[in-house]
Amino acid sequence: MGDAQFLRAQFATMFGRAATLYQAPGRVNLIGEHTDYNDGFVLPAAIDLACWVAAARREDGKLRIYSANVQESVESDLGRGPQRRSGKWWDYPLGVAWALQEAGYRLHGADLYVRGDVPLGAGLSASAAIEVSVGYALLDLFGCAIDRTRLALACQRAENEFVGMRCGIMDQFISCHGQAGHALLLDCRSLEHRAARLPDGLRLVVCNTMVRHSLAASEYNVRRMQCEEGVKRLAEVLPQIRSLRDVTHEDLQRHRDRLSDTVYRRCRHVVTENDRVQRFASALERGDRISLKQLMADSHRSLRDDYEVSCAELDLMVDVASQQTGLLGARMTGGGFGGCTINLVEAVHARNFQSGVAAAYRAATRKDPDIYLCEAADGAGRRND
Ligand code: GLA
């Protein structure tokens, strides 16, 4: 039985009727890390690891959700206003229902059966996948026209205001707008975007360090504050700037003495990373493999030394990858402090790359890494299979 049939059968057993199926992907980010909340540029790709939702409407205003991953259900009354944040997995789907209602959509009720294969806490946006798949399902079930950008913004709002994580727009946006075979160059200020075709014969190989440091959430917010601090100080002499997106490398050098060393290095990461995203996108267009590799290496180094969001395991994973055949570029991906690296690998070498990295990482850490050979996938949608 395929995934789709299995989910339909599970739904029928649990809720006693037929379901419509939806899916939204997780993501990797090829380059442009910690730039989204600075109004900058990112270049993520949706991947073929996803969250699935089997869903059917109810007319009584109740939202019942079952998670096959945690084997738990939750029920909420949509007419009764928002529930309070609980710190549990259901904050994501309930937060999305709340944000969609806040955005003016009229939702009634629904039964949802949710199952995801994006690994949790690995920096591949399992949370965006559940938000977007549930949001898409609710809109489609009630016949609302789906505007993918509005959906992404509602999901980001759910995460910011309901779940309590101050993420940028990248993860939800790519889960909505992904395109098979492409990455997406996104301007996080204007939300203008364009698909960037990935070279043929390339695999997106995602290597999970299997570590997640407890620092991830708190340090993310610290980095955001340091960027805001940088903007505040620089705006005293550069009144036209609104965010680090508006600061050039020359500005930053000229006014360096206004910033503490730490804030200066945080700003330098963001300013140089924005530039790397643009150069990476044009290197992709030209098929310039040498530049791709160099830019990914520079990005990793900048995240490690200036932004200080890498960790020993991520550095090691990048290091062992660089010793394998067929590598076009490697760096940490996502928020950092553990999680995954993204590796662009020639498809013919992907299997050997996978076993070579796994063996070297295991030898050095005694941990078995999960390594996924991914393709760039489409964004959220209804499944008709
Ligand atoms: C997390 C956030 C994103 C982005 C990245 C870092 O994945 O959810 O918005 O800030 O970290 O690039």
Averaged pLDDT, 158-172: 95
Give the position, in ligand 1's atom list, of the atom nearest the Cα of 159. Answer: 8
- The pLDDT assigned to 142 comes to 94
| Residue 319 tokens, joined | 């290091």
pLDDT per residue as tens digits for the range 295-307: 999 999 999 999 9
- The pLDDT assigned to 215 comes to 74
- The pLDDT assigned to 79 comes to 81
Confidence class for position 1, pLDDT limits 50, 70, 90: low
In CATH, which of 3.40.50.720, 3.30.230.10, 3.30.565.10, 3.40.50.2300 is domain 3-197+378-383? Answer: 3.30.230.10
Give the position, in ligand 1's atom list, of the atom nearest the Cα of 37. Answer: 10
Does residue 33's CB lie within 6 angstroms of at least one atom of ligand 1? yes
Cβ-based neighbours of 27, under 8 Å, separated by 6 or more: 44, 45, 46, 47, 124, 125, 128, 170, 171, 174, 175, 178
Confidence class for position 379, pLDDT limits 50, 70, 90: very high
Does residue 90's CB lie within 6 angstroms of at least one atom of ligand 1? no
- The pLDDT assigned to 210 comes to 97
* The one catalytic residue among 171, 246, 298, 306: 171
Asked whether the beta carbons of 23 and 133 are under 8 A apart, the reply is: yes
- The pLDDT assigned to 82 comes to 67
| Angle, CA 165 vertex, CA 139 and CA 22 arms, to 5° | 25
| Residue 229 tokens, joined | 């601090």
pLDDT of 337 strictly over 80: yes
- The pLDDT assigned to 213 comes to 80
| Residue 67 tokens, joined | 């998670």
Averaged pLDDT, 28-41: 98
Distance 91 CA to ligand 1 centre (A): 19
Pairing of strands 182-187, 193-197: antiparallel
- The position carrying tokens 């206004």 is 258
Averaged pLDDT, 175-181: 98
Q: Global pTM?
A: 0.97
Q: Compute CA distances 20 → 55, 134, 143, 148, 188, whole Å.
A: 5, 12, 13, 19, 32
pLDDT per residue as tens digits for the range 271-286: 999 999 999 999 999 9
Describe the crossing of helices 126-141 and 170-177 by its angle, rounded to 10 degrees. Answer: 50
Distance 33 CA to ligand 1 centre (A): 7
Kindly calculate the radius of gyration of the chain based on its CA atoms and give it in whole angstroms. 21
* Residue 117 annotated among the catalytic residues of the structure: no
**Lateral strand order in the sheet of 44-58:** 72-77, 62-67, 109-116, 44-58, 20-29, 381-383
Cβ count near 191 (within 10 Å): 13
pLDDT of 259 strictly over 80: yes
Asked whether the beta carbons of 109 and 59 are under 8 A apart, the reply is: yes
Averaged pLDDT, 304-320: 98
Averaged pLDDT, 260-279: 98
Does residue 34's CB lie within 6 angstroms of at least one atom of ligand 1? yes
pLDDT of 261 strictly over 80: yes
- The pLDDT assigned to 148 comes to 98
pLDDT of 87 strictly over 80: yes
pLDDT per residue as tens digits for the range 91-101: 999 999 999 99
Does residue 37's CB lie within 6 angstroms of at least one atom of ligand 1? yes
Averaged pLDDT, 134-161: 97
- The overall average pLDDT reported for the chain is 96
Q: What letter does residue 160 receive in the DSSP assignment?
A: I
- The pLDDT assigned to 385 comes to 86
pLDDT of 377 strictly over 60: yes
Confidence class for position 354, pLDDT limits 50, 70, 90: very high
Pairing of strands 44-58, 20-29: antiparallel
Cβ count near 261 (within 10 Å): 8
